[in-house]
Structure 1
C-alpha cells in the first residue's frame, strides 16, 4: 500500500528568507499562500483513500495537515521527520504550547525539547550536523519499512495508504530533490 509525502505549505519564513539571512521567525506558521496551497492539496488527495497521517510537530506542517485532512483522517504527531535545524523556523515549541494551539492533536509523547539540541548561535538556533540529520532520515526509513512488513499491527506507520506531512530538506533526503510547497509525492 502506498505512502505519500506532502511538503508543508509556504511558511512566513519561506516567504521572506533571502540570501541565507535568517529572518528570525521561530516555528514559522503558514502564510495566506501556504493555506491556499494546502487547500489545493486537499483537492489533489481526493481519491487517494489516505487512512492515516503522520505529521511533524513544527507548526507549518501541523497547519498544513489540518487544512488538508481536518477531522477526516487520524493525525499522529511524530518528531522523527522534523526539518533539519539550521534556521529559526526549525526550532520547535514545547508540547504544552502546541497542545494549546492544536487541542485536537496529541503532543504528550514528545520530549519538552524534541528538536535538535546542541550549541546555539546568538539567536538561540542550534545547527544540526549533517551526519545526525542523515542518521535521522535512515532511522525514519527503517521505521517505514518495518511497518510495511508488519501485517498484524494497527500502529500509525503500518496503516496504509499513509500520508506523511513534513519538510523540504528531510524529504529531499528521501526522494533526492527538493519538493515544492504542498507537493504530493508517492514514496517508493
Structure 2
C-alpha cells in the first residue's frame, strides 16, 4: 500500500437490513421509522449469510441505523463487534401512511398516491418526509463517515430509502427517479471514497443469498 494512510480510500460496505415481517407482506407494508420491529426468520438467515460472505474482510468500524432491524442485521454480520449507531440514517418518516400497504393507499388516497409516485423528491409521504428530506440528512452523514475513515474499511447497515438516495447521489440520478434503484434485503453496496471522488463499485449485490431463492 503506497502513500500515507490518509491517501488511501475508504471502502464502505453499505448493506440494507434483513427482511422483516412487513417487508414480506404482499403488497409491502410501509414501516418507515415508525415501526421498530425485529427481523423475520428469513431476515436473520439473510444477515447470517451476509456475515459469511463478508467474513474474509476486517472492518475497522461498524455503523448502523439505531433501528432494531438494522442493529440485529449488523450483529449477525459481525457477531461480537461494537456497533456505532447513526441516528441520521434511520429510515424515512412515512407519515400517515405508516403501517399501510400500497394497495390500500392507492385506493384510499389516489391523488396523494399519484403525486408522491410521480415525484417523491417534492411530494413527501403525507405528514412525513420527501426523498429530498431523507437525502439532506443521510448523504452528509454517510459522506462524513467515509471522510473520517480514509484508509479504512467500514460496514454500515441502513435502510431501503436511505441507501437508494445515497446511490442516486453517487450516480447523479434525479431523486424523482430514486425508486428505479433496487435495494433487496441484505444486499451489499460497495463505495470507494476519496475526498475528490466517490465511486459506487457494486450495487445491490445479492449473490450470497442465492440459496434462499431471492
Q: Could you tell me the TM-score, scaled by structure 1's length?
A: 0.66
- The alpha carbon displacement at 1:23 in A equals 7.8
Counterpart contact for 1:13–1:23, Cα < 8 Å: yes
Considering only CA atoms, is the larger Rg found in Structure 1 or Structure 2? 2
- The residue that corresponds to 1:138 in the other structure is 139
CA–CA distance in structure 1, aligned partners of residues 190 and 91 of structure 2: 19
Q: Does 1:171 align with 2:179?
A: no
Q: Which runs of 5+ in 1 are unaligned?
A: 90-119, 152-159
Report how many residues are paired.
143
Q: Does 1:53 align with 2:62?
A: yes
Counterpart contact for 1:9–1:60, Cα < 8 Å: yes
Counterpart contact for 2:11–2:146, Cα < 8 Å: no
More RCO (CA 8 Å, sep 6+): 1
Q: 1:78 aligns with which of 79, 86, 89?
A: 86
- The residue that corresponds to 1:180 in the other structure is 184
- The alpha carbon displacement at 1:141 in A equals 3.9
More helix by share: 2
CA–CA distance in structure 2, aligned partners of residues 10 and 142 of structure 1: 26
Counterpart contact for 1:6–1:165, Cα < 8 Å: yes
Counterpart contact for 2:64–2:83, Cα < 8 Å: yes
SS of aligned partner of 1:2: strand
More strand by share: 2
Question: How has the CA–CA distance of structure 1 residues 13 and 143 changed in structure 2, closer, same or farther, with 3 Å as cutoff?
Answer: same
Question: How has the CA–CA distance of structure 1 residues 141 and 22 changed in structure 2, closer, same or farther, with 3 Å as cutoff?
Answer: closer
- The residue that corresponds to 2:14 in the other structure is 5
Q: Could you tell me the TM-score, scaled by structure 2's length?
A: 0.59
- The residue that corresponds to 2:129 in the other structure is 128
- The alpha carbon displacement at 1:133 in A equals 1.4
Q: Which runs of 5+ in 2 are unaligned?
A: 1-9, 100-124, 169-180, 192-198, 200-214
CA–CA distance in structure 1, aligned partners of residues 187 and 143 of structure 2: 23
CA–CA distance in structure 1, aligned partners of residues 160 and 183 of structure 2: 6
Task: Note the aligned Cα RMSD (angstroms).
Answer: 2.6
